[in-house]
Amino acid sequence: MKAKISGNIVCRRVSAAKGQWKEVMIMKKAYRRIFTIVLDSFGVGAMEDSPQFGDVGVDTLGHISESVEEFKIPNLQKLGLANLHPIRQVKSVEKPLGYYGKLREASRGKDTMTGHWEMMGLWTKKAFRTFTEHGFPPELIQELSRRTGRVIIGNKSASGTQIIEELGEEEIATGHLIVYTSADSVMQICGNEETMGLENLYRYCEIARELTMKDEWKVGRVIARPYVGKKKGEFRRTANRHDYALKPFGKTVLDTLKEAGYDVISVGKIYDIFSGEGITEFQKSQSSVQGMDQTIELAGRDFHGLCFVNLVDFDVLWGHRRDPVGYARELERFDVKLGELMQVLREDDLLILTADHGNDPTYSGTDHTREKVPFLAWSPSMRGGEKLAESENFAVIGATIAENFQVEMPEGTIGTSILNKLK
């Protein structure tokens, strides 16, 4: 059966009597609102090329389920998550409510920006530079030190919570500046809120952002990492983290939606990830549960367009910290909120759940893992769903959104819409 869509009319070829085909026109109602929720780092198994990224046999969802006794995610189950990927404690369902499939990442990378940008059509062919092996080059460090007036310490690849344990007391005593990186293209700068002050930390990060705009030093993000506490064992990072990201390297679906007059509402980190480009309104979140509450509240409001949500706790609190039990509990909390959201969504709403990369909490190290991500789509207007073919990129999401709202995919972007598959 073939279908072409133009405007809201679907032209479908159906088989008629005597082996003939006839074309029928069906009115397809466009969704008025699309909620796209990114469960940050919720991978569903290794990509074929994962070993090239140092990731062998990684599987965020699978290994979480193997690490816990109980795992209650009834709403994700109803949407078909256990049909998509076997889960020890959760049975697959005979009639999933929604459509489910896996998305592969076309871009060279496994970081947040690459993943989200690809969802909205951008194919990152050349990976952002990383500084994992030797830290940042001495010339950059000297320049940062000169401009901030502080000695730089750390300058290596590290886990954010471990490095403040290691160097926090030194920073407080001497006023030195802790700089570290990871397998992502990031320069992270720590600052004790009580002794350095947030304003100073943000100022240093702005300087770092300026310096790292240079081609050979270009990092995807500079991140301010404020923390509180006076001594080892007491240090705790605060929610005043701030990301200074590069702007997307091309136009995304968010831009075309905004230009066409639709609402593009960001919840959580989306605004930072796109440097505000293509966003009409934003709300930051203190936690993933709060992010879901904000989304539920937005669902009670009338808007026309996209609500794009990032829930980062899965990644920051559990994935990077290699805590599969914590990750499972976060998924359970999410599932409760998902149930509440599903209750308030309307017939002409579409919900898409996905992820931006993996972060297998049982894998070695503390970095992201190169994985496929889930795609779950549901609307109260659907009468059951089915399995979708694996998609070769995340941009299927942006393309589907663009087609729904009848806006162009910007030039140079990738992605094929599957709107006509969602019935």
Ligand X SMILES: O=P(O)(O)O[C@H]1O[C@H](CO)[C@@H](O)[C@H]1O
Question: Among residues 112 and 252, whose Cβ is nearest to ligand X?
Answer: 112
C-alpha span between 128 and 114 (Å, rounded): 9
Q: Is 349 annotated as a binding residue?
A: no
In the list Mn ion, ligand X, none, the entry touching 40 (Cβ below 5 to 8 angstroms by class) is Mn ion
Burial class, 144, CB count within 10 angstroms (exposed 0-12 / middle 13-18 / buried 19+)? buried
Q: Is 40 annotated as a binding residue?
A: yes
Does position 252 bind ligand X by CB under 6 A? no
Burial class, 256, CB count within 10 angstroms (exposed 0-12 / middle 13-18 / buried 19+)? buried
Distances, alpha carbon 18 to alpha carbons 21, 23, 24, 114, 156, in Å: 9, 15, 17, 51, 71
How crowded is residue 243: how many other Cβ atoms within 10 Å of its Cβ? 20
Does position 132 bind ligand X by CB under 6 A? no
Amino acid at 4: K
Does position 257 bind ligand X by CB under 6 A? no
Strands 221-228 and 186-192: parallel
What are the tokens at 16?
């008629």
Question: Among residues 255 and 313, whose Cβ is nearest to ligand X?
Answer: 313
Q: Is 313 annotated as a binding residue?
A: no
Question: Among residues 171 and 315, whose Cβ is nearest to Mn ion?
Answer: 315
- What x-and-dash track marks residues 324-343 binding Mn ion by CB under 5 A? --------------------
In the list ligand X, Mn ion, none, the entry touching 33 (Cβ below 5 to 8 angstroms by class) is none
In the list ligand X, Mn ion, none, the entry touching 404 (Cβ below 5 to 8 angstroms by class) is none
Distances, alpha carbon 290 to alpha carbons 44, 284, 313, in Å: 24, 9, 11
What Rg do the C-alpha atoms of the chain give, in angstroms? 22
Site for Mn ion in 99-118 (CB under 5 A): 112
Choices 40-48, 215-223, 240-248, 300-308; region in contact with Mn ion by CB under 5 A: 40-48
Choose, by CB under 6 A, the member of 92, 132, 145, 159 that binds ligand X. Answer: 159
Does position 420 bind ligand X by CB under 6 A? no
Does position 369 bind ligand X by CB under 6 A? no
C-alpha span between 350 and 366 (Å, rounded): 34
Does position 186 bind ligand X by CB under 6 A? yes
Choices 17-25, 181-189, 377-385, 391-399; region in contact with ligand X by CB under 6 A: 181-189
Shortest separation between residue 356's beta carbon and ligand X, angstroms = 10
Does position 160 bind ligand X by CB under 6 A? yes
Choose, by CB under 5 A, the member of 243, 315, 335, 360 that binds Mn ion. Answer: 315
Amino acid at 121: G
**Is there a contact between 225 and 217 (Cβ–Cβ < 8 Å)?**
no
Question: Which among 234, 243, 237 is positioned nearest to 268, based on CA atoms?
Answer: 243
C-alpha span between 416 and 409 (Å, rounded): 10
Q: Which residue number places its CB atom closest to Mn ion?
A: 112
Does position 362 bind ligand X by CB under 6 A? no
Question: Among residues 312 and 377, whose Cβ is nearest to ligand X?
Answer: 312
Assign 326 to helix, strand or coil: helix
C-alpha distance across the termini of the chain, in Å? 14
User: Which spans of this chain sit near Mn ion (rule: CB under 5 A)?
Assistant: 40, 112, 315, 356
- Annotated binding-site members for Mn(2+): 40, 315, 320, 356-357, 368
User: Which spans of this chain sit near ligand X (rule: CB under 6 A)?
Assistant: 112, 159-160, 182, 184, 186, 188, 223, 316, 320, 366
